[in-house]
Structure 1
């Protein structure tokens, strides 16, 4: 903890250098949050939302989206090895299965297991920004946005460009990333490719990851536009300790394909977005890498969905509406052949009550072929006390259905439970936002009462894990953050960005006598995140990031990362990164020891 206090003091001293006297308005405040129906500017949101923009993505010492998310306040990233070859993401003490991942609003939930939710088939170089919604998201995005949702957003460019990046580092690590835009008349298109591999930092931790992403769109006229996307990712890796420490030779290979097509109709007071998408995931798992006959699982899941979302404006405000239908299927030598259908109806309304107060409320009704109808209401109220200060509060019901692994898995260390009921939670939050002269701060208190929490348990280490429904669990916590950014001035030394956050989470799940739990009592408890981006002259940037993480019933750890860039925005640039400069011994997931100090360096080529 002394290290954390020293860093806090250091960051505070550095932030005092803000005497650059730059009062640039935050461009982030003008960003429209990309929800599927009612879209509200970031500064007017009555929710706790974090934006990770292009500058954050490009300057953070990270080689994957998972690593970048580890610096988002309130987000608990549990990596199994480096560069996020597989990682679980939790929000506000929730498990990996309680977070919904989206790509341009498309749900990436895998019916087999939540461990696949970060198999996002988009090279990092092509990600425009990431929107992290903390708190219940079922009313906005549907089921499984239980503790929060993360929307990865790409954009189509009107101008031609080419970006190429290559790097190499410790553990035999190397990779290349390519992104290009080649508009042709009214048709805009992006292509992105990436390849990363490593020999591994410990026994059986090697990996190979490939991504292919293509996106195209055309404006048919002023009111109608089409957009299509097809993407593919291949991840093959040694899985030492990923699911059990008893078998160090585990191995897994996962291939995910995603395709979508959407149409937008935009009129003066009416908006409609219709979309269809398909997701295919193939997962081969071996308990002994070179002995598939010893124990092997082969799962193939498919998701096909249709959606229609829109809004219309009237003198009474903005009304949002939506319909969705989704079919999930699985073929598996372990879980059997499974199928379920889901449908949903969204309805919400946003209205300004005078010049300072706004109210947004609605409901999501879901039908599941296994569990019938469920209804999830919610509402937020905002009060704009001044141009800089906003207060808000909200309530919502969230929901998650068990995965097929939760229900049906049979293995030597894990056994499913086909009697599981869905999880539900009542959520409440109250907070305040402040933004002025390049600064942005937020303070939030949240409370989540969970019914039928799904948790993997066992009576002793000789008995396989099995999920059970706990009757009631309460999570509450406080989130505080401060962010500062100015435009570069070209001064010899300039603090371009400063961030600091503290998150505290308390869970009242009481350990039952003689019962061991896997996830709930290892939830995030204390989290401190800080960062300083310093510009030296016009071409050099130096980003320092720190994390102090303490999970319930686990040892805390402190990790310090750095990245230096030369000419990042120029035609050719260079960078060097270092992770875990403190050489900390720590574990994020299962019993997997994360690597000590490690380095990588590379170059960037930008042509327009």
Structure 2
């Protein structure tokens, strides 16, 4: 299969070179990747970054952020149930604990467990784009961006608008959202509300998810701007198979709150952004849904943070620097009262030289009250071969501190380990990217060597379900390396009645060399991606109907492979009144992605959208 995928990739690449008459463009070169300090145009980055645009978000057969990310090369999405009620996100073989989620650059770290990383209080339809940084992000974002980072970006409209959408489907799925924008003079603001629910695709898998999100901004004068964000999310769901198969009546309820205030100063060559934010997560978990007295966990975690990030541009290049402080606390009947503090300092510099070269280097130094100072250097080098072709390389250090759950949590299925050490890794990447009028393509090789990898292990058993408890341990060493290839081609072939607009294809391969004790079961390390093939096409009919078809072949270590085919059809998507129909798992595949949850077979949903601009 590997040879076939590589052949298809290069065949498609050659075909794309042969046609450049049309003026249609991929259109990603105008996007600016901010990364909190230095802003770089997408086509000049020396990292492997995927950008999911607003159009892709609207036309992908998906109802959640995690479902959209499942079609991103190199990203491993492990869902529990439909519509992404809960999911873990891994990048390049990394675990969900090694991925950092951000909202407009604000870190959504959860000190209890990154199982809650996707409790994002933003309605799906409010998102303008998603930026996926693959590889070490510790130099840029700090200690949680071990294997990569995902930044969700929203925008404040300049004009009044109203967007209403509703849908229904199999398994009692129903939901909708309302997004309103009502600027008043220089004060821009938007309010979004969404609700999704389902009766569940199997026993005890029903859910309800409600999100509220408010964002506003005002330019005080030509130099000063204030922005405010506030959100709240409520998730309640039956958790059959989410964490163990020994208790099918598991149940969980989560309420996540987020508030952030930022001030931006711009003058001449200086840019300074100061922001403070707070995130709270309230988690109630029961082993028996209707018997809370049998076993119930109640956790309340809080994160308070203050950041200052700045950029200064001179004849010597662009310098970025910043400082952050963060306090993490949890009040839990299982984990106890815990708190820890972090201090981080950033410094980096980017220069362009000899017309076609650019380099960027920096360091993030972190002071954690238990482990002292740790330093994460990194560097990037790029060479612009010509206007459309670029080669690059980068290296960097990664670091992750164990979560409170890994350190202290215990229940009938899990032990804790308060003696865990932080994970550490060195990462290397080299790649080539093509950005032409019709074509975007990229080939990347990456390597990550990790020490003290944290994984849950247990002794095997002939009794099923296995009665032995999972215990987090520091695995001595693990090496991940792999190849990522992708191509997007705007073919624009056909007539006004029927036209093939776009085709895309990606293939990713990961090899893992894990060193650990023999005769034990691993819960996370041996379930990473090995092969991932993603393909898709978009077509247009009578200039009103858009058809998007996407297929995925997924093969993980020690798990059975599976193939998924999904499709969505939109009618009048950008008009005042539009309709859509989407079908998931058309192939009706039988598969498990996370925990012990049997994922649903073929299912369909349909809905409408109403816009006033």
What TM-score do you get using the length of structure 2 for normalisation?
A: 0.96
Deviation at 1:23, TM superposition (A): 2.9
Aligned residue number for residue 463 of structure 2: none
1:520 aligns with 2:529: no
1:106 aligns with 2:111: no
Deviation at 1:133, TM superposition (A): 0.2
Aligned residue number for residue 192 of structure 1: 192
Please, which of 475, 480, 495 is the counterpart of residue 480 of structure 2? 475
1:594 aligns with 2:599: yes
Pairing of 1:535-550 with structure 2 (within 5 A): 535-550=540-555
Query: Any idea what the Cα deviations from partners look like across 1:215-274, whole Å, max 9, x if unmatched?
Result: 000001111100001000000000000000010000000000000000000112000000
Deviation at 1:12, TM superposition (A): 6.2
What SS does structure 2 have at the residue aligned with 1:58? helix
Deviation at 1:447, TM superposition (A): 0.2
Aligned residue number for residue 469 of structure 2: 464
Aligned residue number for residue 28 of structure 1: 28
Aligned residue number for residue 345 of structure 1: 345
Aligned residue number for residue 512 of structure 2: 507
**Structure 2: distance between partners of 1:272 and 1:510:** 45
Counterparts in 2 of 1:65 and 1:477: CA distance versus 1, 3 Å: same
**Structure 1: distance between partners of 2:8 and 2:426:** 34
**Structure 1: distance between partners of 2:18 and 2:200:** 42
**Does the 8 A contact of 1:23 with 1:486 survive in 2?**
no
**Does the 8 A contact of 1:285 with 1:298 survive in 2?**
yes
1:308 aligns with 2:347: no
**Does the 8 A contact of 1:20 with 1:494 survive in 2?**
no
Aligned residue number for residue 443 of structure 2: 443
Aligned residue number for residue 609 of structure 2: 604
**Does the 8 A contact of 1:447 with 1:475 survive in 2?**
yes
**Does the 8 A contact of 1:17 with 1:495 survive in 2?**
no
Aligned residue number for residue 42 of structure 1: 42
Question: Which is worse superposed, 502-511 or 595-604?
Answer: 502-511
What SS does structure 2 have at the residue aligned with 1:337? strand
1:55 aligns with 2:60: no
Deviation at 1:22, TM superposition (A): 2.1
What SS does structure 2 have at the residue aligned with 1:56? helix
**Does the 8 A contact of 2:25 with 2:490 survive in 1?**
no
**Structure 2: distance between partners of 1:373 and 1:485:** 49
What SS does structure 2 have at the residue aligned with 1:29? coil
Query: Any idea what the Cα deviations from partners look like across 1:181-212, whole Å, max 9, x if unmatched?
Result: 11000000011000010100100000000000
**Does the 8 A contact of 1:490 with 1:538 survive in 2?**
no
**Does the 8 A contact of 1:488 with 1:535 survive in 2?**
no
Query: Any idea what the Cα deviations from partners look like across 1:509-535, whole Å, max 9, x if unmatched?
Result: 045322111100111000000110111
Deviation at 1:178, TM superposition (A): 1.0
What SS does structure 2 have at the residue aligned with 1:28? coil
Taking only aligned residues, the RMSD between alpha carbons, in angstroms, comes to: 1.9
What TM-score do you get using the length of structure 1 for normalisation?
A: 0.97
Aligned residue number for residue 83 of structure 2: 83
1:581 aligns with 2:586: yes
**Does the 8 A contact of 1:81 with 1:592 survive in 2?**
yes
What SS does structure 2 have at the residue aligned with 1:225? strand
**Structure 2: distance between partners of 1:244 and 1:263:** 45
Query: Any idea what the Cα deviations from partners look like across 1:378-434, whole Å, max 9, x if unmatched?
Result: 000000010010000000001110000000001110111000010010000000000
Pairing of 1:138-287 with structure 2 (within 5 A): 138-287=138-287
Aligned residue number for residue 404 of structure 2: 404
Pairing of 1:124-135 with structure 2 (within 5 A): 124-135=124-135
Aligned residue number for residue 94 of structure 2: 94
**Structure 1: distance between partners of 2:307 and 2:316:** 26
Aligned residue number for residue 494 of structure 1: 499
Structure 2: give runs of 5+ residues left out of the alignment.
Answer: 461-465
Corresponding residue pairs, total:
604
**Structure 2: distance between partners of 1:21 and 1:283:** 56
What SS does structure 2 have at the residue aligned with 1:43? helix
1:373 aligns with 2:369: no
Aligned residue number for residue 333 of structure 1: 333
Deviation at 1:36, TM superposition (A): 0.5
Structure 1: give runs of 5+ residues left out of the alignment.
Answer: none
Deviation at 1:21, TM superposition (A): 4.2
Deviation at 1:462, TM superposition (A): 2.8
**Structure 2: distance between partners of 1:489 and 1:146:** 45
1:417 aligns with 2:417: yes
Aligned residue number for residue 319 of structure 2: 319
Deviation at 1:488, TM superposition (A): 10
**Does the 8 A contact of 2:167 with 2:175 survive in 1?**
yes
**Does the 8 A contact of 2:476 with 2:515 survive in 1?**
no
Aligned residue number for residue 288 of structure 1: 288
Counterparts in 2 of 1:18 and 1:239: CA distance versus 1, 3 Å: farther
Deviation at 1:8, TM superposition (A): 6.8
Counterparts in 2 of 1:389 and 1:19: CA distance versus 1, 3 Å: closer
**Structure 2: distance between partners of 1:256 and 1:8:** 44
What SS does structure 1 have at the residue aligned with 2:234? strand
**Structure 2: distance between partners of 1:511 and 1:423:** 15
**Does the 8 A contact of 2:492 with 2:500 survive in 1?**
no
Counterparts in 2 of 1:39 and 1:490: CA distance versus 1, 3 Å: farther
